[in-house]
Amino acid sequence: MAQVKSAAFKKASTRALHDQGIQHALNHVMNHFTEARASAIAADYSDESWDAMRTRAAAIKAHTIGNLDYYLDLADRSIRRNGGHVHFADDAADATRIVIDIAKRHDVKRAIKSKSMVSEEMGLNDALKRAGIDPVETDLGEYIIQLAGETPFHIIAPAMHKTREEVSDLFHDWLKSAPTSDIARLCSIAREALRKHFETAEMGITGANFVVAETGTVVIVTNEGNGRMVTSTPRVHVAICGMEKVLPAIEDLPVFLRLLPRSATGQRTTSYTSFISGPRGPSDEDGPEEFHLIFVDNGRLNLLKDEVLREALSCIRCGACLNHCPVYRKVGGHAYGWVYSGPIGAVVTGPMTGMKQAADLPFASTLCGACRDVCPVKIDLPKLLLHLRHRLAEGTGSGERAGTWMERLYIRRWHDAVKTRAALDRSTRLGRLLQKPLVRRGKVRSLPLPVISGWTKDRDFPALAPKSFGEIWRDGLGPAREPE
Amino acid sequence: MPAEEHPNKAAFLQRVREALGRSDPLLHMPDHPTLKAALPRQEEKVRTVRARIDVLRAQNLKKLAETATAASWHVHGPIAVEEAAEVVAGIASGLRAKHVVRSTEDVFRRVNVDSALRRSGISPTVLAAGRSRGRSALKGLAFEADLGITGVSYAIAETGTCVVTPRKGIARLTSLAPPAYIALVEADQVLGNLDEYFALTRLVYQKSRGRTPTYVNFISGPSRTADIEQTLTIGVHGPGVVHMVLIA
């Protein structure tokens, strides 16, 4: 599995905040995404009709995930009836082994890939290389970060942190192309380089945006056309997807095909939507002779088991929650330390990879709710983040640590201090005495106590006022009382 | 013969079931509207869809021209069927195309693209395996071509989409590998929206007792990317120039 570096979130996000290149890219791109989304929605929908569509999509997802065993079974039977093969992989290692076995059986030397987040979870490219198979990413953004040896910065714009100059340097190093700052020229350099791979690769690897259970159809939504190439020219096509990608029937697709492109790139529709229902037929002119679909668990059961977190499996990976998140918009994608970033990454990384190493992520949110408001399938992300914080604090579930004894002590003392009116008045008087040496111009600049000293590290704490509102009120600012 | 069931399937599904708080498989299909509509009900639905398409034909055609233009198609027409071949030849000459590949949808029987192209000095190739050509040759031909021409199964006004269904005589690469592409759309192929398309598709699936096309593509404009600095660039891996010829 791909390395999980989420434990270093604080350090990595601090680094990102001081990286001018990343800050420039985020400032530039994030507004572009949010504006494109807003105008694409406004062009065709009223607030009410857009909301109704989200409600419908959320209901379809909740229904499918609530009966996931049934729909996985149906999808499996349909795809095999269409002549395809279906695999069920418990974890990343399992899925990787399956892909490599298929590749070995077909004597594959070179595999072309279109975008697949699950293959990022698996760290598939490294595993393929170790097995002597040369993997080539064909989505332009993924190709760029593959050359750079990095991981995706954003779920739908993997190389958004790279400038044209950096891309030109990468192409110069790897493809020996002349340096250029013309983006169209850079695209055509990549086109030429990848065409050779499209013509010669023996195996195509893709993800799946949706899998329709009844007809056994894998749906792939793309803009560049690489997804179509990867599913047309090689001898073997292997699609890899999370087990939650299944939908009941073909007529469930329209709402998702309307929600996804608008939420993701702000398009009415993407350039291409491909529907693949097995290997090519006997009379088809071209297309892979063999088709495989791998359903992957890789930690998703941990989400499914938890009745609150289950909702996160409805995610269609549009990236809107990242684009609207005040935290992601400052720290970017790499700080989250694994494959998924932003609010959805903060929710799924812990349960999928182990809570302990991702314990900081649920706290990397202001709970402003922007993510929930834009989510095309209405995932209540703030609720899920609070649920995870609760689990972390209470120490329920494996690998989760309860709050420290010191935190608990503070909470108990706080409880005693405020539980009655009389107690609150007493504590307030005591607080005024104790704060005296710490107050400078009405602010407490630092709290020299363990644990809570962090509160005043980056901001001041307002000092207790000499008189509380209640006291001012009692002393005569309240309304004159009628004599009885 | 279908492939064998994967050895891990039963255990995998059992774990999913238990995570959902059940110990046994469901006895009945879950209650979901798009799945339970049986053949008679779907036929009823499709009758309504067809009636709507008939009534709204002119509007749909107009809407398609708008959405397709917005999606960066070059839209021609609607024109009379007799003029279509000349329009195609005109586009091909304008593109200075030398190697033209096409597929074999029915529309090519009504629109004699080949002779119009020949009159312009271009000899088109049908990208299909045949007596003189094996399948292995198709890839090379497709990658050498500078223009691909196909008909469509449907067009969808809502999204500016041509639905292309590869099968015998219709290679996947015809509409993908060349840098330019022309789609021929006849007025009676134009649907209003995605729901209508999928309603029709499901009926076909039900009537053919569970057979479904191996591959279908929605093509909604040129190949595009914004992966470098969010700057829109067309023609990355698929055609950068796309023409839609509407035939009344």
Nearest CA in chain B to A275: B216
Q: What is the DSSP letter of A3?
A: P
Report in angstroms the alpha-carbon separations of B12 from A70, A293, A297, A351, B18. Answer: 12, 15, 9, 18, 10
Q: What is the pLDDT of residue A73?
A: 98
Q: Is residue A138 part of a domain?
A: yes
Residue that terminates a domain, selected from A243, A272, A301 = A301
Structure confidence by residue, pLDDT tens digits, A118-136: 999 999 999 999 999 999 9
ω into A376 cis (within 30 of 0): no
Tell me the CATH number at A191. 3.40.50.10420
Q: Is B220 on the interface with A (CB under 8 A)?
A: yes
Q: Give the Cα separation of B99 and B148 in Å (integer).
A: 9
Of A267, A301, A335, which residue is a domain's last?
A301
**A-proximal residues of B, 59-118, CB under 8 Å:** 67, 70-71
pLDDT at B1: 80
Burial of A37 (0-12, 13-18, 19+ CB in 10 A): buried
Q: What angle do CA B151, B196, B163 make, to 5 degrees?
A: 20
φ/ψ bin of A259: left (φ > 0), alpha (ψ from -120 to 50), beta (otherwise): alpha
C-alpha angle with apex A338: A337 to A343, nearest 5 degrees? 85
The CA distances from residue B114 to A294, B18, B48, B130, in Å, are 44, 61, 38, 18
- Mutation site for B-interface testing, chosen from A251, A252, A303 by largest number of B Cβ within 10 Å: A251
CB contact under 8 A, A84 and B3: yes
- Establish if A197 belongs to a structural domain: yes
Q: Which helix (H) or strand (E) holds A210?
A: strand A210-212
DSSP B191: E
- The arithmetic mean of pLDDT across residues B104-116, rounded, is 96
Q: Which residues contact A3 (CB under 8 A, 6 or more apart)?
A: A123
H or E segment and range at residue B115: helix B113-119
CA–CA gap between residue A117 and residue A98 (Å, rounded): 17
Count other Cβ atoms within 10 Å, centred on residue B7.
10
Gyration radius (Cα) of chain A, Å: 27
Residue A398 lies in a domain: no
Q: CA nearest A234 in B: which residue?
A: B139
What is residue A401's predicted lDDT score, i.e. its pLDDT? Answer: 60
B53 Cβ neighbours under 8 A, 6+ residues apart:
B60, B190, B191, B192, B196
Asked whether the beta carbons of residue B237 and residue A226 sit closer than 8 angstroms, the reply is yes
Could you tell me if residue A171 is inside a domain? yes
pLDDT at A440: 86
Tell me if chain A has a CB within 8 Å of the CB of B160.
yes
A287 and A423 assigned to the same domain: no
**Inter-chain contact A269–B8, Cβ cutoff 8 Å?**
no
Gap between the Cα atoms of A34 and A26, Å rounded: 12
Q: Is residue A375 part of a domain?
A: no
Q: Which chain A residues are closer than 8 Å to B129 by Cβ?
A: 285
The verdict on B3 touching A (C-beta cutoff 8 Å) is yes
Averages of pLDDT over runs of 10 residues in chain A (484 residues) are 90 95 91 95 97 98 98 98 97 98 96 95 96 96 94 90 94 94 94 93 97 98 96 97 98 98 96 97 94 98 97 97 96 94 97 94 96 98 96 70 74 90 91 88 83 80 87 77 56
Q: Is B171 on the interface with A (CB under 8 A)?
A: yes
The closest of B204, B171, B155 to B104, measured between CA atoms, is B171
Whether A72 and A216 map to the same domain: the answer is yes
Nearest CA to CA, how far is A478 from chain B (Å)?
A: 57
Q: With an 8 Å Cβ cutoff, are A248 and B171 in contact? A: no
Does the reported pTM lie above 0.90?
A: yes
Q: What are the strands, taking DSSP E only, across chain B?
A: 74-79, 100-102, 125-126, 147-151, 154-156, 161-164, 180-186, 190-191, 215-219, 224-225, 233-234, 241-247
**How many domains does chain A contain in total?**
2
> Which residue ranges make up each domain of chain B?
33-247
Residues A122/A97, Cβ–Cβ less than 8 Å: no
Which strand ranges, in their side-by-side order, compose the sheet holding A246-247? A246-247, A210-212, A217-222, A272-276, B215-219, B161-164, B154-156, B190-191
Instruction: Retrieve residue A350's tokens.
Output: 């812990």
Question: Which residue, of A280, A301, A322, is where some domain finishes?
Answer: A301
Nearest-Cα distance to chain B for A255, in Å, is 9
Of A275, A345, A339, A344, nearest in space to A119 by CA? A339
Helix (H) or strand (E) holding A222: strand A217-222
| Amino acid identity, position B111 | V
What stretch of H or E contains A87?
Answer: strand A85-89
The count of other CB atoms within 10 Å of the CB of residue A105 is 10
Question: ipTM of this predicted complex?
Answer: 0.97
In a domain, A264, yes or no: yes
Q: What is the pLDDT of residue A396?
A: 60
Beta strands in A316-445 (DSSP E): 439-440, 443-444
Q: How far apart are CA B95 and CA B90, in angstroms?
A: 9
**How confident is the model over B128-154, as pLDDT tens digits?**
988 778 888 899 999 999 999 999 999
State the average pLDDT for chain B. Answer: 95
Q: What CATH number was assigned to the domain covering residues B33-247? A: 3.40.50.10420
* A233–B230 C-beta distance less than 8 A: no
Give the whole-angstrom CA distance, residue B191 versus residue A111: 38
CA–CA separation, B163 and B43 (whole Å): 22
The tens digit of pLDDT for each residue in B165-204 reads 999 999 999 999 999 999 999 999 999 999 999 999 999 9
Instruction: Write out the residue range of the structural domain in which residue A180 sits.
Output: 6-301
Tell me the per-residue pLDDT of B41-63, one tens digit each, with 9 for 90 and over: 999 999 999 999 999 999 999 99
Tell me how far CA of residue A188 lies from CA of A167, B101, B144, B233, in angstroms: 13, 22, 16, 10
